[in-house]
Structure 1
Amino acid sequence: MDARARRSFERLSAAVLELAAVKNPETLSVAEIARTAGVHRSTFYEHSDSPSGLLRAVLRGELDEARERFLGGAHERAWDVAVRDTTLAVLHHLESHRDVYLRSLASAADASLRSLLSEHFRASIRLLVERGAVRSPVADPELVARFVADGTVGAVSVWLAGEAPRDPEAFLDDFALLVPPWWPLSPDHPD
């Protein structure tokens, strides 16, 4: 992406996050986002085909960056620390976009961000299985990925909806008690 396109994308990203914090993302219009970003509608379409698509791309980019920062690169590491650091980064991401996520996570009709989070967690879990950080207790690693991912989405939804201040470290301590012993954050995990 060239510098001009990157600046446009950054402006559109800021606009969609600002608007999605106060309005249902499904009701946002391209014109509204372009106006808030100070760009032309045609510039919007150079980056996305819909407001909800743009929102998902922006949030997915931040989540993928956290995964890459802590789980990417070299394969030899203390996986319990890497998983904890990644989870903390995701919790801070969720907190920084709390209003955006709450609007979707609390709605039975809008599961778009719930599915985005589940997809993110499943991809991270698949990576952990591939690298040997998680030893699948069953033959199908996708079963493990889906089980942990969807449970994690439910747990972070409850945490995010809770009263302020929300303490990511306290959440991780509680979450560690919920995960199975083969998960790297479990206090019963065989190191």
Structure 2
Amino acid sequence: MGDRRVRRTHAALQGALIRLAEDRELSQISVADVAGQAGVSRSTFYDHYRDVHELAEAACTGMIDELVDVMTALGGDHGTGDPIGSLRTFFAALAEHASLYRSLLGPQGSARVIDHIRRRMSAAALTRATGGGTAAPGDPLHVPAAFIAGALVGVATDWLQRGCAHTPSEMAELTWPILSVCHFGTRAPAPRP
């Protein structure tokens, strides 16, 4: 029963923060704001999180884990999956919560969230490169996987900081040719509709 209650409280607090971040920057959101929006006391908030920033990290890492799972089509059989659709979904999800991601991935952001994103994307790229298997830490496949993950995080961060000037579809179209060269060594064919 306790675990269910904890999960419910975490979900309520994270949802409250995400709703509040739609209208204001993370630095302008207080514990009292989040607790009030979630319908819990401040002491309940502090039972689970140290501050709003720690809550934001927890909310974002959970959402990133879901996004990375969606991105698995990037590794299809040399482009036969829907990598552009996966990238579009990735950028659309970032845009949906742009203020929150902008705060956490920007200059004053969270190194923990950036590292989490990079590690999860690198692991996903490595899994795709090994066909679902694993590779030893010294394996040469780690370099391209880490490069792709870092590049995608960098592009996404820059896009967020510039106010999402391109649509998620445009970002997918701009990003895929570069990622395909890095991932496949040559330009991958456009995915089939």
- TM (norm. structure 2) is 0.70
| Cα deviations by residue, 1:134-188 (Å, 9 ceiling, x for unpaired) | x9xx943332222111111121223334466632222122112323535269733
Tell me how far 1:95 sits from its aligned partner: 0.4
| Cα deviations by residue, 1:18-58 (Å, 9 ceiling, x for unpaired) | 34452335x75544422231102343345434422221222
Structure 2 stretches lacking a partner, 5+ long: none
Structure 1 stretches lacking a partner, 5+ long: none
Identity across matched positions, percent: 22
CA distance in 1, matches of 2:90, 2:32: 30
1:179 corresponds to = 179
> 1:52 is matched by which residue type in structure 2?
H
**Partner SS for 2:109:** coil
| Residues 28-177 of structure 1 mapped to structure 2, 5 A cutoff | 29-69=30-70, 71=72, 78=77, 80=79, 81=81, 83-107=83-107, 109-112=108-111, 113-131=113-131, 139-162=139-162, 166-177=166-177
> 1:110 is matched by which residue type in structure 2?
G
| Cα deviations by residue, 1:91-140 (Å, 9 ceiling, x for unpaired) | 11100011112233332x3243433432332232233234259x9xx943
**Partner SS for 1:179:** helix
| Cα deviations by residue, 1:55-74 (Å, 9 ceiling, x for unpaired) | 122222222223335639xx
CA distance in 1, matches of 2:96, 2:43: 29
CA contact (8 A) 1:84 1:185 kept: no
CA contact (8 A) 1:176 1:186 kept: no
- TM (norm. structure 1) is 0.71
CA distance in 1, matches of 2:64, 2:141: 22
Aligned residues: 181
CA RMSD, Structure 1 to Structure 2 (Å): 3.6
> 2:25 is matched by which residue type in structure 1?
K
2:19 corresponds to = 18
Change in Cα spacing, 1:70 to 1:82, as seen in structure 2 (3 Å) is farther
CA distance in 1, matches of 2:123, 2:61: 12
CA distance in 1, matches of 2:127, 2:30: 36
CA distance in 2, matches of 1:79, 1:41: 51
> 1:33 is matched by which residue type in structure 2?
V
CA contact (8 A) 2:95 2:164 kept: no
CA distance in 2, matches of 1:17, 1:71: 25
Runs ≥4 residues deviating over 4 A:
76-79, 162-165
Change in Cα spacing, 1:70 to 1:177, as seen in structure 2 (3 Å) is closer
